[in-house]
Amino acid sequence: MEPLSWGGIFAGMFVQLIPVWIALIVTFTVSIYYKRKLGLYGKLFDSTIGMIGFALVMFWVFVAALGSMDMILTHDPLGQVSGMKNKLPGTPLRGAQDGDYAHYLLGGDNLARDIFSRVMSGATIVILIAPLATLFAYMVGITLGLPAGYFGGKFDTLLSFVANLVLAFPVILLFYLLVTPEIVNTGLPQYMAIVLFFFPLIFFSVLINTRLKQQPQKNVIWLCAVLIPLAVMYVVTINAPSTKIDILGSLDFFNPAAGILVVFVSVVFVNSPTVFRIVRGLTLDIKQRDYVAAAQTRGEGPWYIMLWEILPNARGPLIVDFCLRIGYTTILLGTLGFFGLGLPPESPDWGSTINDGRKLLSIYLHPALPPAFALLSLVLGLNLLADGLREESLRD
């Protein structure tokens, strides 16, 4: 077998990614066709920058989704093939059987694993954790920021002090203090998870209860439908076998892979104070408006006003910041991987692979560059998307 030329490598990758291209084309055709009926999402397709950003983000989302369904990877991301150590891109696989993909498209890393497959499966980890962690940070930030801004007073002073405290911490020091194995063994991240993961429950119960208080029957149905699955998820997520918190025993059907929970908790913890500050600032601004005064004269409760009058009117800046913050979370995840914290060392996430690749960077360029460009393109896509959304939401 001949090694592939650069043209051959790109052609190979293009062919390998065909499911992603199809999914992208379908998404774009449908969205552009119906864009007038889709609100803010549809308006995104009026701005070029927004479309480019959306395409970059959706590319990685589809890679993550289809990659976990095993439609894109050429090799096992953890599998080592002898003789493929540090081999250049396009090197034919040594001892390839029928049914094996015949080349290492982007070469092999220092443990003879296929770099292309590792980058693609790294996307799954990032796309799974980053938006979800940002969402949790938003739940925490909103649930605390709204009352802090609305009521003010001692509660606000205390929470703002705590938020500034966390923000004054150098992020990397915080990661080192939370994510080292010794601390993980004490169960501290799990205790933090108990607190942080409880906020979505509070948020949704208050959200539903304030809206449907007058219709008790509907209220109960809605509360059950939302809270029971959430509560079950809450309990099985924080419960992990053979740690300090193991009360369910064999009932525990969901256990995230080693280290993911810890990484998730620390990222949520670092992000929520900033969200808190943003939400608090927006609330301080919006509570002066006439419609809030109108709701107050109507005799609405404070939580109803916060969640159904103030929050929907703060959505513009929050959506834009949400996109930016997913990018920032991706960068934080990469930082964790770069310092070898949290995730297991063989994990294919981009930060860890960059860290592995940089050690031999002066001799072998190819292991470190693909994950670096992957991370760059995803964060760039999110920033462009946020820019497009900001432009379009300012237009009306």
Partner 1 sequence: MGLFILRRLGVMILTAICLTFIVFFLTNLHPNLEKLAKTQGEMRMSDEQVDRWLANRGYDQPLPIKYGEWLGVWPSKIIEVDDGRAYGRCLQTGVSIADTPRFCGVIQGDWGFSTVFKDEVSSIVATRLSLTGKLMFWVMMLMIPSALLIGVLAGMREGSRTDRSLSTVSIITTATPEYVSGVIFIALFAASASPLNQWLASMDWIEGRTLFKGTATSAMENANFNNFFLPVLTISLYGMGYIARMTRASMAEVMTAQYIRTARLKGVSFPKIVVKHALRNALIAPFTVIMLQIPWLLNGVVIVETLFNYKGFGWVLVQAAGNNDIELLLGVSVVSVIVVLITQLISDIGYVYLNPRISVS
The binding site for partner 1 (CB under 8 A) comprises 161, 164-165, 167-173, 176-178, 180, 182-183, 185-186, 188, 327, 331, 334-335, 338-339, 351, 354-355, 357-358, 361-365, 368-369, 372-373, 375-376, 379-380, 382-384, 387
- 37 three-state secondary structure: helix
- Read off the amino acid at residue 285: D
Q: Closest distance between partner 1 and the C-beta of residue 49, in Å?
A: 8
Q: Give me Rg for the CA atoms of the chain.
A: 24
Estimate to the nearest angstrom the gap between the alpha carbon of 81 and the chain centroid. Answer: 32
Residue 350, both tokens: 């981009």
Rounded to whole angstroms, the Cα distance separating 195 from 321 reads 24
Q: Closest distance between partner 1 and the C-beta of residue 330, in Å?
A: 9
Which DSSP letter does residue 104 get? E
C-beta of 181 vs 301, nearer to partner 1:
181
C-beta of 67 vs 381, nearer to partner 1:
381
- DSSP letters spanning 120-180: HHHHHHHHHHHHHHHHHHHHHHHHHHHHHHHH-HHHHHHHHHHHHHHHHS-HHHHHHHHHS
Q: Closest distance between partner 1 and the C-beta of residue 125, in Å?
A: 17
CA angle 227, 229, 232 (to 5 degrees): 105
CB count within 10 Å of CB 380 equals 16
Q: Closest distance between partner 1 and the C-beta of residue 161, in Å?
A: 8
Q: Closest distance between partner 1 and the C-beta of residue 227, in Å?
A: 33
Q: How far is CA 49 from CA 317, 319, 387, in A?
A: 18, 17, 7
C-beta of 208 vs 386, nearer to partner 1:
386
| 110 backbone dihedrals φ, ψ, rounded to 5° | -70, -5
| Residues contacting 395, CB < 8 A, separation 6+ | 43
Q: Could you tell me if 60 and 381 are in contact, meaning their C-beta atoms sit under 8 angstroms apart?
A: yes
Q: Could you tell me if 234 and 198 are in contact, meaning their C-beta atoms sit under 8 angstroms apart?
A: yes
C-beta of 186 vs 215, nearer to partner 1:
186
C-beta of 23 vs 380, nearer to partner 1:
380
**Residue 16's closest CA among 83, 74, 80?**
74
C-beta of 28 vs 338, nearer to partner 1:
338
Q: Closest distance between partner 1 and the C-beta of residue 110, in Å?
A: 14
Q: Closest distance between partner 1 and the C-beta of residue 341, in Å?
A: 10
Q: Closest distance between partner 1 and the C-beta of residue 216, in Å?
A: 44
- Read off the amino acid at residue 373: F
Place of tokens 């379009």: 392
C-beta of 139 vs 384, nearer to partner 1:
384
C-beta of 19 vs 340, nearer to partner 1:
340
C-beta of 6 vs 253, nearer to partner 1:
6
Q: Closest distance between partner 1 and the C-beta of residue 339, in Å?
A: 7
Which DSSP letter does residue 103 get? E
